[in-house]
């Protein structure tokens, strides 16, 4: 049987779960905002570049390099979002496994307690009737 400390830890872990998930989802939202802003900048700078691309000047080279750098950064944001999503999934999956283990243990424990109570009641009834057996008298009509 689990000690009260184990139960407290289990309940504390459960109460912590939403905070972990909320934190990860907030981080995902922030990464998504940064990524969308970056993609808007890339789109604007690409449009500007294409309008002025007639000549490959130093300014155009810098603009192209800046666009490429932003694409790399956007890819990194995407990779970070995927990794954070996987971490969030892992946190949820681990908590589900803990809950499954706990509930399996709990069900077995309750069943064992019920069996013990049933056995105790049976033994008490057995003792009661063995110590004070019922006596029946048969009457005959003469």
Is position 13 within any domain? yes
Is position 125 within any domain? no
Asked whether the beta carbons of 18 and 92 are under 8 A apart, the reply is no
The two structure tokens encoding residue 6: 């184990």
What Cα–Cα distance (Å) separates residue 6 from each residue in 2, 3, 9, 140? 6, 5, 5, 68
Is position 68 within any domain? yes
Is position 24 within any domain? yes
Domain span at residue 79? 4-94
Is position 72 within any domain? yes
CA–CA dist 77, 82 (Å, integer): 9
Spans in the chain with pLDDT lower than 70:
1-17, 131-142
SS3 assignment, position 142: coil
What's the total number of domains in the chain?
A: 1
For the segment 12-32, what is each residue's pLDDT rounded down to a tens digit?
665 666 788 878 878 888 898
Task: Report the pLDDT value the prediction gives residue 15, as an integer from 0 to 100.
Answer: 63
């Amino acid at each position: 049987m689990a000690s009260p400390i184990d139960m407290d830890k289990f309940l504390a872990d459960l109460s912590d779960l939403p905070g972990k998930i909320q934190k990860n989802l907030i981080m995902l939202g922030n990464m998504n905002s940064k990524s969308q802003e970056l993609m808007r900048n890339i789109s604007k700078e690409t449009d500007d570049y294409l309008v002025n691309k007639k000549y490959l000047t130093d300014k155009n080279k810098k603009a192209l390099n800046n666009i490429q750098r932003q694409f790399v950064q956007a890819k990194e944001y995407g990779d970070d979002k995927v990794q954070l999503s996987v971490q969030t999934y892992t946190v949820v999956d681990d908590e589900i496994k803990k809950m499954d283990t706990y509930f399996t243990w709990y069900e077995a424990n309750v069943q064992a307690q019920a069996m013990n109570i049933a056995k105790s009641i049976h033994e008490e009834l057995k003792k009661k009737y063995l110590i004070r057996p019922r006596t029946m008298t048969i009457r005959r009509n003469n």
